[in-house]
Structure 1
Amino acid sequence: MTSAALKRVPQSDSTHGVYDAHPTIHSSDVGQRFQQEHRRLARSKRRHRVILNIAGLVFFLLAWEAIPHLSSWMNPALFPPPSRVFTAALPLIASGELATHISASLMRATSGFSIALVLGITAGFLTARIETLHHLSEPVLHGFRSVPSLAVVPLAVLWFGIGELPKIALIAWGAFFPIWITTFIGVRDTNIVYLRSAAALGASRVRTLFLVILPAALPFILAGVRQAIAVSLIVLVAAELSGSNAGIAYMMSLGHQLFQVEIMFIGLVLLGAFGFVADRLFVWVVKRLFPWYQSAS
């Protein structure tokens, strides 16, 4: 090819073709694809988990239904299958009696847990940060922490009667100590390097508290709160058995007195459902408020 022919070759078209064959990859496109893939995997994982949860529940119900029929030593009157329990629950649902018991128990559990949440976190922070207060309260708080909540039930009835106050106070008592001890440990064991770094950067006590100590202690606090949710439901049963005219435990006690085992099983199922829903709600709230904290599952 002559030099004149070479001059007639469209160099710009040749260069354009090279760039078309190797397009530039922008970092923003890579980030978007990574986020989309991460969301897709998260959705797939949630679907897989829900399917397994439903399968486990169905397997449990089928086994429960089969045991009274297949076992000659199991009396269906004492161990009723789910079909009989559901049949016994229908009149309670239609009359609104079951809704009354559920609302009464939820109100007591929520009120007592909320009081314990505020007092437990506050006491944990104060006793961990103020050494004098810690030494003063150590024998009292650790001593009462060893006292079972059920042992306080008779005293609560004598002091406050059989109204709503003793029931809420008992639930708050039982849920307080898990929150307090985990908050205390989390705040006390904050890495000294974090505190010195904050002080070197000129952070005030308030900013250090909210920006350093609280995030460092958060896993411990959340663990205590999660445990306190279960404790609240446990103490709820003892509190309602001490004297009440409504509630899940009251309904179970009434079923025991009338020898209606199906009613007692309705209460057990409801308490288990409350525990599961409360735990899932806790995990959902934690992931929304603290998206970087992924230990709750």
Structure 2
Amino acid sequence: MSFPSIAQPELGAEGRRQGGAAATVADTVSLAERFQQDSERQERSRRRGRIALNLLGVALFLLAWEAIPHVFEWINPALFPPPSKVLEAAIPLIRSGELFGHIGMSLLRAISGFVIALVLGISVGVLTARIPLLQYVSEPVLHGFRSVPSLAVVPLAVLWFGIGEAPKVALIAWGAFFPIWITTFIGVRDTNVVYLRSAASLGAGRLQQLFLVVLPAALPFILAGVRQALAVSLVVLVAAELSGSTQGIAYMMSLGHQLFQVEIMFIGLVLLGVFGFLADRLFLLVTRKLFPWYHTVS
């Protein structure tokens, strides 16, 4: 004689509940994946639209530049050459490789000076913000030198270091140091004390607080200074190369001025503008890769 089982319907109901929960989780995961894919698709679409608008802006600028000497007859094309003339003057320099030599030397100087400024600026900014005695001792000197234009140091740099590569790199490092230092100093100094006390209550030492709390909190300030220093490096590069140089973009522009070849001078101006834009875009790309949670203004 067999008896009906009472547990089987209960187990069946439990199994159905588990299956329903698993289906709900799967639906949630699928919805999250679709949301992520839609977000990435929209971001790619915005990026393509932005690139298209950037290219359109460049094209409109070149068209206006080309048309100005033809529309306004009082403008002398020899003093304001259109892009076609500038490109015509650049082709022989490209074929001979001379232009790439000037570009390479200028980039080497700018990168060397910027790296030195980056290391010194962040180091001095952290030290002066974290050590009050060092801050009070160095404050009048650093703020005083920060007000001295980089161009005013050119004669002294040539006198001290000669006309080699040392004064050029030193001038670029001088100009790029102060934006990085002052923003690092402000960011580290203004770190919320609540963060430090919370880290200390969890057992974090001074070094752990510095690397895990202070520097991440000061990161927006530091990145702003680094971005500004990139532009300053190119500005000081021109002054540095004009102080006795035989190669470089600014030297090429100076040579064009002496030979009254205005097209050569415009080539240098265009290159400096392109390098400034590319350096800024590269900075934003590296920032997004290293700090995906940080969104900077483009």
Residue 259 (str. 1) matches residue 271 (str. 2): no
Aligned to 1:141: 142
Residue 78 (str. 1) matches residue 88 (str. 2): no
Residue 179 (str. 1) matches residue 199 (str. 2): no
Cα deviation digits, residues 83-114 of structure 1 (max 9, x gap): 00000000000011000100000000000000
Aligned to 2:5: none
Matches within 5 A, 1:1-297: 24=24, 26-297=27-298
Deviation at residue 27 of structure 1 after TM alignment: 2.0
Conserved? CA contact 2:161–2:167, under 8 Å: yes
SS at match of 1:26: helix
Conserved? CA contact 2:89–2:264, under 8 Å: yes
Amino acid at match of 2:53: L
Instruction: State the distance in 1 between where 2:219 and 2:49 align.
Output: 29
Amino acid at match of 1:267: G
Amino acid at match of 2:229: A
Instruction: State the distance in 2 between where 1:184 and 1:61 align.
Output: 42
Deviation at residue 296 of structure 1 after TM alignment: 3.9
Deviation at residue 205 of structure 1 after TM alignment: 1.1
Instruction: State the distance in 1 between where 2:115 and 2:98 align.
Output: 26
Q: Which moved more, 1:216-225 or 1:24-33?
A: 24-33
Instruction: State the distance in 2 between where 1:179 and 1:112 align.
Output: 13
Gaps spanning 5+ residues in structure 1: where? 1-11
Amino acid at match of 1:119: L
Name the % identity: 73
Instruction: State the distance in 2 between where 1:113 and 1:39 align.
Output: 34
Instruction: State the distance in 2 between where 1:30 and 1:171 align.
Output: 52
Instruction: State the distance in 2 between where 1:68 and 1:194 align.
Output: 60
Aligned to 1:4: none
Aligned-residue Cα RMSD (Å) equals 1.4
Cα deviation digits, residues 235-280 of structure 1 (max 9, x gap): 0000000110000000000000000000000000000000000000
Q: Which moved more, 1:112-121 or 1:34-43?
A: 34-43
Aligned to 2:6: none
Instruction: State the distance in 2 between where 1:199 and 1:244 align.
Output: 53
Cα deviation digits, residues 94-139 of structure 1 (max 9, x gap): 0110001000000000000000000000000000000000001001
Return the TM-score normalized by structure 1. Answer: 0.92
Cα deviation digits, residues 203-244 of structure 1 (max 9, x gap): 111111111111100000000000000000000000000110
Q: Which moved more, 1:32-41 or 1:241-250?
A: 32-41
Q: How many residues of Structure 1 are paired with residues of Structure 2 in the alignment?
A: 279
SS at match of 2:73: coil
Amino acid at match of 2:70: H
Instruction: State the distance in 2 between where 1:74 and 1:281 align.
Output: 37
Conserved? CA contact 2:65–2:83, under 8 Å: yes
Amino acid at match of 1:71: F
Instruction: State the distance in 1 between where 2:35 and 2:273 align.
Output: 39
Gaps spanning 5+ residues in structure 2: where? 1-11
Instruction: State the distance in 1 between where 2:207 and 2:34 align.
Output: 40
Deviation at residue 31 of structure 1 after TM alignment: 1.4
